[in-house]
Amino acid sequence: MKFHILTLNRRAPRLGVLKDVEDRPNVQIETPVALLHTQGGHIPHVTHEVFKLVSNEPQILQISLVSMHCFQETMEYYHGGISEFIGSKDSLTCLTLHDPSNITKQGHHVKDKIPIWTKHGKVLYNSEMYMNIVEHFKPDMYYLLSDGDTNKTSPQKRISKAVENTISFSKQCLERHKKSQLLKNKFVMAPIAGGYCVKARDKCIEALLKEGDVFSGFLIDGLHNNGPEVEFLPFAEVKGVVNYVVKKLPDEKLISVQGCWNPLNVIKLVQLGIDVFDTSYCRILTERSSALTFNIEENEDEENYEINLRDSKFSEDFNPIFDVCKCLACTKYSKAYIHHLLTVQELLAPVLIMIHNIHHYLRFFKKIRECIGNNTLERLEEQISNQYKKHHDKILNKNEDEYRNGFSSGNESEELL
C-alpha cells in the first residue's frame, strides 16, 4: 500500500489516496479518512453484514491489540490474515496497540515492556512479542510499538521515558520488519511520542527520520490517554504540539491521530495536516444513547448538534433521527420507536443508533474531502461551529458526568474551542 497526495497543497489541508494494496490493486481509500473502530474485530453493536447496509465503499478496520490479545494463540495456527479471521476479508486492516474508545490506565511501567489492559487483566508486551502478533495477524497497516502514556499533565520525567522507550521499541520492531518476508509490503506507521514538550517530540522525530524511507506514515501519539475524555479535550491545548510535529515531518508521509475527536476538532486537525482518524467517537455517543444530528450540507436545517434518544420528549416523535439521512435507521425507524427500545433495554436500540452515527460520521468525512477540493472547508467549520455553540449554554448547568453517561436531555453538546 502506498500514500499519494492529490492536491497541490502538500501540507494542509490536503487530499490524498491510499492505493496499490497488495492482492487488491483496484482498492483505493481517499483521505482524510476515518478508520472503522472495532472491538474484537467487529464494529461495536454492528456486524460486518449489517455494515454493508451502511456503506459498500472500501474501508479500513482499526484492530486494537488489546481487544484481540485472546486470539493470539489461535492466529499462530491460522493460515489467513486477521481480515479473514474476523469474517471481513474484503476490508483492509490497521493494527493498533490500544482501544481509543476506552481509557488507557496510566503507570504500571516495566523496563522494555508496555502494559496493555485486556479483559483478563494486564499483559506486558515487548517488541519481539508485538512483532510476533503482527506477523500472525498480517494487517495491511500497523503502528509500531510505542509508549504513549502521556498527556497534558505528564511530568518531564515521564515524557522523557516515553520518548526513550518509543525510540527503542521502534528500532527493535523495524529491525524485525526488515527481516520479515510477510511484512515487507505492509504499510508501517511510526509513533511519535513526547507529550506536550516540543523538545521531546524533536528528539523522537530526529531518531525516527533516520529510518524515514521505511516508514509510510507517522502517528502523533501521547496527546491523551484515550477514552471519552478526548471528546472534551480543548483544541487550544493540542494545536501547538500537533502543528509543530506536522511541520517537522516529510510532506509525502501519511499522518495519523487516534481518539474520540469531536467533528469540530476533526476539521481543525485536518486543517493542520492530519490525514487519518477513527470512528471511536461514534461508539461513545452510542453508549450514551446519543445520535449525531449536526448539519453537513448547507441546505440542512436540523437545530440540534446531537440528540439523546432516552429523552422522554421523543416518546411520541415519529420522525426519523435526521430527516435527510438515508441510513437504515432513519429510513425504517422513528425516534419514538428507538426511544421505546431504549426504555425496555432492547439490544436493537444501540444497533440502530450506531448505524446512524457511523453513516453520519462517514458522510461528514466525505464532505470534508469535498470541501478541501473546492476550498470551502472554513465554511463547513463555521457551519458546524455555530450549531455547536448554540447548544453550549444549554449544558453549562448540567452535570458533565451525567451528560457523558447519557442521562441529560441529550440535545446538547460540550464546547471544546
Which residue, 356, 355, 316, is CA-closest to 337?
A: 316
CA distances (Å), 54 to each of 105, 116, 358, in order? 33, 32, 8
Q: Is 330 annotated as a binding residue?
A: yes
Cβ–Cβ contacts within 10 Å for residue 368, how many?
Answer: 26
Q: List, in sequence order, the alpha helices (H) in 52-96.
A: 65-68, 72-77, 82-85
70 is in an annotated binding site: no
CA 164, CA 158: separation in Å to the nearest integer? 10
Question: Is residue 327 part of an annotated ligand binding site?
Answer: yes
Beta strands in 112-154, from DSSP E residues, in sequence order: 114-118, 121-125, 141-143
CA-based torsion, 116, 120, 124, 126: positive or negative = negative
Which helix (H) or strand (E) segment holds residue 387: the answer is: helix 377-390
Nearest to 353 by CA among 313, 320, 319, 394: 320
Q: Residue 44, preceding bond cis, omega within 30 degrees?
A: no
CA distance 360 to 294: 9
Phi and psi at residue 162, to the nearest 5°: -60, -40
Phi-psi region of 345 (alpha: psi -120 to 50; beta: other; left: phi over 0): left
Is 260 annotated to bind a ligand? Reply is: no
Question: Do the beta carbons of residue 178 and residue 171 sit within 8 Å?
Answer: no
The amino acid that residue 154 corresponds to is: S
Annotated binding site: 325, 327, 330, 356
Annotated binding site for Zn(2+): 325, 327, 330, 356
